Structure 1
Amino acid sequence: MNDYLEDLVQMKLFSGIAPEEIAELLDCLQARRVQYGSGEMIIEECSRVRKFGVMLSGHARSIKWDTSDRVIILTLLEKGSEIGVLLAAQPEKESPVSIQAQDNVTVLMIPYDRVLASCARACPKHDRLLRNYISIVAEKGLVLHERIDCLLKPTVREKILTYLLRISCEQKNDSFQIPLNRNAMSEYLNIERSALSRELSNMKRDGLIDYHLNSFTLNRNSKFL
């Protein structure tokens, strides 16, 4: 696990905790590293989750299937992303989503009850970890709110604009890269691929946006924006 200490220091769960303290903390938490292959389920829908994870490498996605057996992408996960934080806090509830590895993934898995357990040494680092965990839970709630806000938009154009405006805000630039190809973008926005392509062309024609592949530019001066 020492190979990952430099990475863990940068992750929100271990914010404010020194590398040497993280090493001690991982032992106290009984954390372990788990490997997943491409397409493998890290968490399955309807399962009960008692451990949460932090991605050390690779890419994954949180997904559901609709009544037509179509995949809906809820969130995209990468190195540093947390997995199952909300689910582990409610282990009696079944998971409403699946988490699927998109390539070879390494996850640091931590039993939730070890985070809540009182440290025998009453160490400040354990208290800081719990505070970080609560902060992450609050942040996840806000992300879910943004996701729902996007899905509830009544038109294809509004869904696309809501998503693009959020990415622009996150990257603090009107010109930005999105992490999704067109297939993934249509799944994420829960709209047909053909409808997405058609509306993107219309938005470009109307002067709202310009784009090439995954590069987008928002025209803030457009009367349609």
Structure 2
Amino acid sequence: MDINVLEKSRLFQGMTAKELSLCLDSLDAREKKYRKEELILHAGDTTDKIGMVLSGSVTIESNDVWGNRTVLSHVGISQYFAETYALLGEVLLVDVRANEDCRVLFCNIRTLLDGCKKSSPWKEKLLKNILIISSQKNLVLSGRSFHTSSKSCRGRLLSYLNAIALQTGSKEFDIPFNRQQLADYLNLERTNLSKELSHMKDEGLIEYRKSHFKLLKAD
């Protein structure tokens, strides 16, 4: 288990080494490995565990019965998924899939709701951190709704790329999606997205190579 990754993560932020050890034991922490494209959690199931990515990355996606796929978010190293479902015991409405070969740490956070267990510093810190994580997730989902509010392909691309530039503090950055994933995230056809990117490049608005982008000032 990557203790250095855990110590730097938002979930265990503020904990001493002893508190972290007690927390992992109490939450029955278990590490699992997944291959690229392997399903980690399936819509319709329930879970009592929060997942933390130790290596690689995963995507949160919605797949309907007609085969339509919508990428909702990307989860990288030290980031989390399923915390709300785990705490509330609700049926999952999304799939969690390995975006590449990855390792995931699962922690049973339903034990935090066990009123019989004595309160402790690590428990209070963990609950606070989960609240912060959930709030950040809400911002991510709100961001996607904002990006897809435009009716045009270009409008959605400009909204998303501008948001990444603001978040990174740079006009040159890498995005966490490949072309298909970006198209799914912005609810666009991949062909239309690729054409619009080419037009924007020809017009001197952007430069890009694979997932690396640079925003340019329009003349």
- TM-score, scaled to structure 2: 0.91
Residue identity matched to 1:222: A
Other-structure match for 1:222:
218
- The alpha-carbon distance between structure 1 residues 103 and 178, as it changes in their structure 2 partners (threshold 3 A), is closer
Residue identity matched to 1:141: N
Other-structure match for 1:80:
78
Task: Give the whole-Å Cα distance in 1 for the aligned partners of 2:36 and 2:172.
Answer: 31
**Percentage of matched positions with identical amino acids:** 30
Aligned counterpart in structure 1 of residue 175 of structure 2, from 152, 173, 178: 178
Does the CA-based 8 Å contact 1:5-1:22 persist in structure 2? Answer: no
Other-structure match for 2:206:
209
Q: How does 1:1-225 map to 2 (within 5 A)?
A: 3-66=1-64, 68-91=66-89, 93-117=90-114, 120=117, 122-219=119-216, 221-222=217-218
Does the CA-based 8 Å contact 1:5-1:23 persist in structure 2? Answer: no
Which region of structure 1 is more displaced relative to structure 2, 192-201 or 69-78? 69-78
CA drift of 1:21 comes to: 1.7
Which region of structure 1 is more displaced relative to structure 2, 143-152 or 6-15? 143-152
Task: Give the whole-Å Cα distance in 2 for the aligned partners of 1:60 and 1:43.
Answer: 11
Which region of structure 1 is more displaced relative to structure 2, 12-21 or 65-74? 65-74
Does the CA-based 8 Å contact 1:53-1:84 persist in structure 2? Answer: yes
- The alpha-carbon distance between structure 1 residues 204 and 104, as it changes in their structure 2 partners (threshold 3 A), is closer
Residue identity matched to 1:130: L
Task: Give the whole-Å Cα distance in 2 for the aligned partners of 1:204 and 1:37.
Answer: 35
Task: Give the whole-Å Cα distance in 2 for the aligned partners of 1:126 and 1:108.
Answer: 18
- TM-score, scaled to structure 1: 0.88
Q: How many residues matched? A: 219
Residue identity matched to 1:27: D
Tell me, what secondary structure is at the counterpart of 1:13? coil
List gaps (5 residues or longer) in structure 2.
none
Alignment RMSD (CA, Å): 2.0
